[in-house]
């Protein structure tokens, strides 16, 4: 959510940002917010004047009563009563106007960073850099579920019977590999100075609307029937929510966490949810990283976060590239975002395995995450990034470490988490 002062003083800049995101239908919201804000401030001024009059009349009543001028005092009391009723009406109207302003401001997109490329959708995202040499072996690489099934490592049919499409059973060495990757990612981030955390896997609606846009919420979140609780789509939701309505000492920043959680997503409108695969599913596990920092440090942390993911994948011999998300592909709260994509030898192309986002003060403003510094209070900046998210990571891992005989090599870094195994055969 933007600062109301920005919309009040720079409405054309806010409109131009909306145009860059190709959301022209939201342009009218800016004018509506400006007009509603004008009405709200006028009513607030009127209410303030009435409160001042009430205080003045109260003092006069006391003076008149002391002088025995009861009739004059009673007349003033009537005025005070009338003003109290009017003031109550003004306060109700002021509350209504503020609610209308907030409703509109919640869907006006955040101001994107000047470096973000302008484009309508993800087809116009821009490749930045490649890390590692993509290799296509001479032998054919099977579909990832076929690789897993050869090790008796996955059961999609039973999962479909139990829970429907978009779920799976992982078994044996594949299940162990899944856990090994998560554990390795956890320790990888701890070694880089991040604090490990396991958060709540459900959050209240005020946290949901604080961390994401309404469109994202509708497409992603599962609601718990009969309760004000939602299953998290990523641990970032819980982790940023941890700081709701707090005032944090500037000297304690930054807060850097790496968090583990299962993730639950409706994947509303997603393509391929019916296919025999585990690329886009309703339930998975993930290691995440989040940062709460001073505004002037958020650019530096953004670069550190995506680099962490690149370094982790390269430590497992998986080639990756970074992709800058264009304006039309950015969720409304994001200032800037970079996707990390892993190489798929089978498809001979890269596919997304993680996303790094700088949200500026958008989440902090919604959740009231403030910092107390030398020059007063201000809103923190929040960032998040995927460390690793099996099973997408497993797809990249299996394809890039597959041998011609069907066995899978275990990179040196991962062997301690696999009981010393060098190969799955």
In the chain, where the domains are located:
4-105, 122-424
- Exposure class string for 254-288: b at 16+ Cβ within 10 A, else e: bbbbbbbbebbbbeeeeeebeebbbeebbebbbbb
What is the bridge-based pairing of β-strands 376-379 and 381-388?
unpaired
Higher pLDDT, 50 or 404: 404
Contact 154, 145 (CB under 8 A): yes
- Is pLDDT at 273 greater than 60 in this prediction? no
What is the predicted pLDDT for the residue at 65? 72
State the burial class of residue 123 (Cβ atoms within 10 Å of its Cβ: 0-12, 13-18, 19+): exposed
Contact 253, 369 (CB under 8 A): no
**pLDDT band with cut points at 50, 70 and 90 for residue 64:** low
What is the predicted pLDDT for the residue at 421? 96
**pLDDT band with cut points at 50, 70 and 90 for residue 272:** low
State the burial class of residue 419 (Cβ atoms within 10 Å of its Cβ: 0-12, 13-18, 19+): exposed
Please state which of the ranges 10-14, 25-29, 263-267, 409-413 shows the lowest mean pLDDT: 263-267
Going by C-alpha positions, the residue among 399, 355, 381 that lies closest to residue 125 is 355
Residue 129 to residue 22: CA distance in whole angstroms: 26
3-state secondary structure of 307: helix
What is the predicted pLDDT for the residue at 391? 87
What is the predicted pLDDT for the residue at 83? 74
Residue 155 to residue 169: CA distance in whole angstroms: 5
What is the predicted pLDDT for the residue at 153? 96
Going by C-alpha positions, the residue among 202, 210, 200 that lies closest to residue 227 is 202
**pLDDT band with cut points at 50, 70 and 90 for residue 217:** confident
For the segment 270-274, the average pLDDT, to the nearest whole number, is 52
Contact 199, 231 (CB under 8 A): no
In 253-373, alpha helices (H): 298-315, 362-367
Contact 345, 141 (CB under 8 A): yes
User: CB atoms < 10 A from the CB of 245, how many?
Assistant: 10
For the segment 350-372, the average pLDDT, to the nearest whole number, is 97
What is the predicted pLDDT for the residue at 352? 95
Averaged confidence pLDDT in the chain: 93
Higher pLDDT, 275 or 236: 236
Going by C-alpha positions, the residue among 235, 356, 357, 227 that lies closest to residue 286 is 235
For the segment 289-315, the average pLDDT, to the nearest whole number, is 98
Higher pLDDT, 78 or 183: 183
Going by C-alpha positions, the residue among 316, 362, 318 that lies closest to residue 340 is 318
What is the predicted pLDDT for the residue at 185? 98
- Is pLDDT at 38 greater than 90 in this prediction? yes
Please state which of the ranges 39-48, 56-65, 369-378, 413-422 shows the lowest mean pLDDT: 56-65
Residue 382 to residue 369: CA distance in whole angstroms: 9
68-103: pLDDT as tens digits: 777 776 677 777 677 778 888 888 999 999 999 999
Residue 131 to residue 396: CA distance in whole angstroms: 14
Contact 218, 156 (CB under 8 A): no
Higher pLDDT, 66 or 302: 302
107-165: pLDDT as tens digits: 999 999 999 999 999 999 999 999 999 999 999 999 999 999 999 999 999 999 999 99
244-261: pLDDT as tens digits: 999 999 999 999 999 999
Radius of gyration of the chain (CA): 28
What is the predicted pLDDT for the residue at 59? 67
Contact 15, 109 (CB under 8 A): no
Q: CATH classification of 122-424, choosing from 3.30.930.10, 3.60.21.70, 3.40.50.1820, 3.40.50.1110?
A: 3.30.930.10
CATH number for region 4-105: 1.10.287.40
């Amino acid at each position: 959510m933007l600062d109301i002062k920005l919309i009040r003083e720079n409405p054309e800049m806010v409109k131009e940002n909306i145009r860059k995101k190709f959301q022209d239908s939201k342009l009218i919201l800016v004018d509506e917010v400006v007009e509603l804000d004008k009405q709200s401030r006028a009513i607030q001024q009127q209410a303030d004047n009435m409160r001042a009059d009430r205080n003045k009349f109260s003092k006069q009543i006391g003076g008149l009563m002391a002088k025995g001028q009861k009739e004059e005092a009673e007349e003033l009391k009537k005025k005070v009563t009338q003003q109290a009723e009017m003031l109550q009406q003004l306060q109700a109207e002021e509350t209504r106007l503020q609610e209308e302003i907030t409703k509109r401001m919640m869907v006006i997109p955040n101001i994107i960073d000047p470096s973000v490329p302008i484009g309508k959708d993800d087809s116009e995202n821009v490749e930045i850099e490649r890390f590692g040499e993509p290799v296509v072996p001479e032998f054919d690489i099977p579909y990832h579920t076929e690789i897993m099934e050869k090790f008796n490592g996955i059961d999609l049919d039973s999962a479909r019977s139990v829970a429907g499409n978009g779920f799976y059973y992982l078994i044996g060495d594949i299940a162990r590999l899944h856990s090994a990757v998560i554990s390795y990612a956890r320790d990888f981030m701890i070694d880089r100075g991040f604090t490990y955390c396991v958060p709540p896997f459900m959050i209240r609606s005020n946290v949901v609307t604080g961390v994401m846009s309404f469109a994202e919420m509708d497409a992603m979140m599962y609601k718990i029937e009969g309760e004000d609780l939602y299953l998290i789509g990523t641990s970032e939701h819980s982790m940023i929510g941890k700081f709701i309505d707090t005032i944090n000492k500037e000297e304690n920043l930054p807060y850097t966490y790496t968090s583990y959680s299962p993730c639950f997503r409706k994947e509303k409108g997603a393509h391929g949810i019916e296919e025999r695969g585990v690329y886009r599913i309703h339930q998975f596990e993930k290691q995440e990283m989040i940062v709460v920092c001073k505004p002037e440090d958020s650019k530096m942390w953004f670069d550190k976060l995506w680099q962490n993911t690149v370094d982790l994948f390269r430590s497992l011999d998986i080639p990756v590239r970074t992709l800058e998300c264009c304006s039309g592909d950015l969720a409304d709260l994001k200032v800037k975002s970079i996707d990390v994509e892993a190489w798929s030898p089978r498809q001979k192309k890269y596919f997304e395995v993680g996303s790094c986002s700088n949200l500026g003060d958008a989440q902090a403003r919604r959740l009231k995450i403030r910092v107390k510094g030398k020059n007063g209070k201000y809103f923190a900046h929040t960032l998040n990034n995927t460390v690793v998210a099996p099973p997408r990571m497993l797809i990249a891992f299996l394809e890039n470490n597959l041998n011609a005989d069907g066995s899978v090599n275990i990179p040196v870094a991962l062997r301690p988490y696999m009981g010393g195994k060098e190969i799955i055969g």
